Structure 1
Amino acid sequence: MNNLLVMAMKLSTGYVRASGYAHKVRRVLFALTRGKVDPKEVVRAAGELNQYIFERFQELGVDKADVVRITVPFEIQDGKIVWDYGSLNIEIYRRSEEEKLAKALEEVEEREKELEERISEIEETATRIKNLVEELLEKIERLKEEHTSLKLKAEE
């Protein structure tokens, strides 16, 4: 471990229930810093960040059933993890909004299905065109062969 090295990194939890954010933060931080920072420092830094996030959750009225995604940049300076709290981002997807989200997802899925159907139609058309081109090329080759054999017969 090179303690003089300053390394910029970013922690991102992915989507997680608010009730499970602390465990996820700790796991992700351990994974990101493996071999770069003493494990005791990881535990300390994760605890510090989790306390900060918990306070933000209270300010924002986050319910434990809400889904969140947390991202925060940090640096490793002299073997210590230093959080950039000013750039902390907490996305919140409230459970009360799940019905709206479900409808939106349903609409997206319908549009994706429509898109897949149209792509399939275009692929079928492209295959038919390809087959026609191959058929035309075969006919052209036959004409050339016939023309060449006629030419040879005429020269005899």
Structure 2
Amino acid sequence: MKLSTGYVRASGYAHKVRRVLFALVRRRVEPKEVVRAAGELNQRIFDRLVEMKVDKADVIRVTVPFSIRDGQIVWDYENLEIEVYRREEEENLARAMEEVEARERELEERIKEVEEVALRLKELSEELLERIERLKEEHTSLKIKAEE
């Protein structure tokens, strides 16, 4: 099994770990064991966050595999992953997303303009074809009158 917190502020990871773990092992492990295992994992995460100099306002995502043996949760700490998204990076990302969204809106407007031109060209093309057909009809009727 694998626990994944999803994206959460570093200041709130411990509560999220506990909630997710309770949901994952419901009816398979005693609640006291969930509390013990969550506390153990949270201490390990805290130590790593301190080593990584993670600010409490940064966003993190924790994933760690685990197994259940004899009613106990056993963490696979070798595969503990902590992704960190720094607050400063978030602001840069937010600005970049705004720019992307603005460019997408501009692209949509330009596509709409081109579509309108294409529609007008189609209408003009149809009008030209109608006029050509009328000219052919007139030419054919003139030819028939001349032959009579």
* TM-score, length-scaled by structure 2: 0.68
Greater relative contact order, per chain length (Cα 8 Å cut-off, separation 6+): 1
Residue in structure 2 matched with residue 82 of structure 1 by the alignment: 74
- Alignment root-mean-square deviation, CA: 2.2
Residue in structure 1 matched with residue 61 of structure 2 by the alignment: 69
In structure 2, list runs of 5 or more residues that go unmatched.
120-148
Runs of 4+ in structure 1 off by over 4 angstroms are 110-115
- Identify the match of residue 90 of structure 2 among 79, 84, 98: 98
Q: In 1, Cα distance between the equivalents of 2:106 and 2:16?
A: 37
Asked if 1:34 corresponds to 2:35, the answer is no
Q: Which residue identity lines up with residue 40 of structure 1 in the other structure?
A: K
Distance 1:114 1:36, change over 3 A: farther
Q: In 1, Cα distance between the equivalents of 2:37 and 2:20?
A: 12
Residue-by-residue CA offset, 1:4-44 (whole Å, 9 max, x unaligned): xxxxx110111110000000000000000001111110000
- Identify the match of residue 18 of structure 1 among 5, 10, 26: 10
Residue-by-residue CA offset, 1:106-136 (whole Å, 9 max, x unaligned): 2443466578x49x97xx9xxx9xxxxxxxx
Residue in structure 2 matched with residue 50 of structure 1 by the alignment: 42
Distance 1:21 1:112, change over 3 A: farther
Residue-by-residue CA offset, 1:58-116 (whole Å, 9 max, x unaligned): 0000010101111111111111101111111111111122221112322443466578x
Q: In 1, Cα distance between the equivalents of 2:92 and 2:58?
A: 14
Percent identity over the alignment is: 74
| Number of equivalent positions | 114
Q: Which residue identity lines up with residue 81 of structure 1 in the other structure?
A: I
Q: Which residue identity lines up with residue 24 of structure 2 in the other structure?
A: L
